[in-house]
Structure 1
Amino acid sequence: MGNKLQMQDWPYLKKYEKENEALKTKTLEENRIVFMGDSITEFWSLHCPDFFAEKPYINRGISGQTTPQMLIRFRADVIELKPKTVILLAGANDIAGNTGFSTLEMILNNIISMVELAKVHQIEVILCSVLPAYDFPWKTGSFPAEKIVTLNKILQEYAVANTIHYLDYYSAMVDERKGMNIQYTDDGVHPNKIGYEVMGEILEKGIDQIT
């Protein structure tokens, strides 16, 4: 996407526009679940298509996105699809500064706004921990590990205080450097097939708890 188009559609609302319109004409699945996130969410369907096959799972991840972008498209890509549940995994790209400077408080505020929008529309929320990362390949030397630890602590505390389901991928995937375990990733940030299989097991248990 060129810079001019990106300025015209900063949150990338057009990415799933056609798919969303098609879903509105389909019979609504009773347990429709939308996955909202960035590349870690988007690439899940590519690495593990069987995980999504024959299930009411809708992937609305967009690579590189930050929480303010997700907040803008939350209505189009989540609420209007009338899901029972939204899986929200976000924050790493904010820490990387993909759309400019962002504090942990700013990240939390955007996530709170998405959670509150979901609640107003009777959508159950599963709030996920940010995955471990020792460094970002596209922004080397940023060493986000400690910020991720702190953000996850803040997210978990918010979830507990507000009776929101919190899903801890981090603890299952972290290594001794507070990065992602090498067996679960090829670049230190994005899960590989094995990593997504670990996440899938954790997620399915979380879904079972609320259904």
Structure 2
Amino acid sequence: MNKLLFIAFVLFFAVDAHAQDWANIKRYEDDNSKVPAPAKGEKRVVYMGDSITDFWIKSDSEFFAGKPYYNRGISGQTTGQMLVRFREDVISLKPKVVVILAGINDVAQNNGPSKLEDVFGNIASMAELARANHIKVVISSILPANAFPWRPAINPVAGIKAINDMLKAYAAKNGFTYLDYFTAMANDKSGLSPNLAKDGVHPTLEGYRIMEPMVEKAIAEALVSRN
């Protein structure tokens, strides 16, 4: 087999594999099978998200250590992909709380252009699936970003603000806990400063250290909420 044919062969099967598991349900399939039933009184939390969640446990493993926290972030994912895998990666684990942090990759058009209302709708659908399964919900704002290194032609500021406004209003109307990372972390250009995210999108350890007490406060609020 010549070199060009071999490359084409590899690319074909890589694309075919992605098409067969668009939502990457296989990523956590084995891990999920090993998760035990919740212990009595356990306040299990699943973190559902994209690379910002995925990289969190790698950047600050101590935050997750010894806690009933399950990280189910997958780098690059859009809200549609998360919605497809929500049952396997959240509901099946029987948490008390799910923390949803999503939307930045939709704004970046990782899977092509998306209507902002559809991005919001995917997050709302995850929240409603959780509620139907007696799981408390924390809806996180999209983090600040004023540019994407991998999509330099896109200015994300207006899209992020619009989705965050929809999420905040939706959470208030439906009794979900809203976690406003944006206000706490945005600089005067509606982005993340280099100390919080070297590439302007993915938090540094310092960035995650700002997020950690905020998310734990939100989880505590969700646990005592009526919804």
User: With structure 1 as the length reference, what TM-score do the two structures score?
Assistant: 0.96
Deviation for aligned residue 1:183: 1.6
Distance 2:173 2:220 in 1: 22
Q: How does 1:178-193 map to 2 (within 5 A)?
A: 178-193=190-205
User: Which residue of structure 1 lines up, in the alignment, with residue 162 of structure 2?
Assistant: 150
Deviation for aligned residue 1:182: 2.2
Letter in 1 for 2:171: A
Distance 1:162 1:118 in 2: 13
Of the three residues 123, 126, 134, the one matched with 1:122 is 134
Distance 1:104 1:98 in 2: 14
User: Retained in 1: the 8 A contact 2:106–2:114?
Assistant: yes
SS in 1 for 2:72: strand
Deviation for aligned residue 1:210: 3.1
Deviations 1:116-173 (A, max 9, x none): 1101100000000000001111101201012111111111011111111000001111
Distance 1:19 1:103 in 2: 33
Deviations 1:94-132 (A, max 9, x none): 111111210110011111111111011000000000000
User: Which residue of structure 1 lines up, in the alignment, with residue 19 of structure 2?
Assistant: 7
Of the three residues 207, 210, 219, the one matched with 1:195 is 207
User: Which residue of structure 1 lines up, in the alignment, with residue 74 of structure 2?
Assistant: 62
Matched, 1:28 2:38: yes
Q: Which range moves more in the overlay, 42-51 or 101-110?
A: 101-110
User: Retained in 1: the 8 A contact 2:37–2:93?
Assistant: no
Matched, 1:169 2:168: no
SS in 1 for 2:195: helix
Distance 2:117 2:158 in 1: 15
Contiguous gaps of at least 5 residues in structure 1: none
Contiguous gaps of at least 5 residues in structure 2: 1-12
User: Retained in 2: the 8 A contact 1:127–1:165?
Assistant: yes
Q: How does 1:40-79 map to 2 (within 5 A)?
A: 40-79=52-91
Distance 1:82 1:207 in 2: 15
Q: How does 1:102-121 map to 2 (within 5 A)?
A: 102-121=114-133
SS in 2 for 1:184: coil
User: Which residue of structure 2 lines up, in the alignment, with residue 209 of structure 1?
Assistant: 221
Letter in 1 for 2:135: I
SS in 2 for 1:179: coil
User: With structure 2 as the length reference, what TM-score do the two structures score?
Assistant: 0.90
SS in 2 for 1:139: coil
Q: Taking every aligned residue pair, what percent have the same amino acid on both sides?
A: 47
Structural RMSD (CA): 1.1
User: Which residue of structure 1 lines up, in the alignment, with residue 7 of structure 2?
Assistant: none
Deviation for aligned residue 1:27: 4.2
Distance 2:158 2:112 in 1: 19
How many residues matched? 209
Deviation for aligned residue 1:181: 2.2
Deviation for aligned residue 1:209: 2.1
Distance 2:117 2:162 in 1: 11
Distance 1:14 1:27 in 2: 20
Letter in 2 for 1:190: H
User: Retained in 1: the 8 A contact 2:43–2:97?
Assistant: yes
User: Which residue of structure 1 lines up, in the alignment, with residue 4 of structure 2?
Assistant: none
Is the radius of gyration larger for structure 1 or structure 2? 2
User: Retained in 2: the 8 A contact 1:95–1:103?
Assistant: no
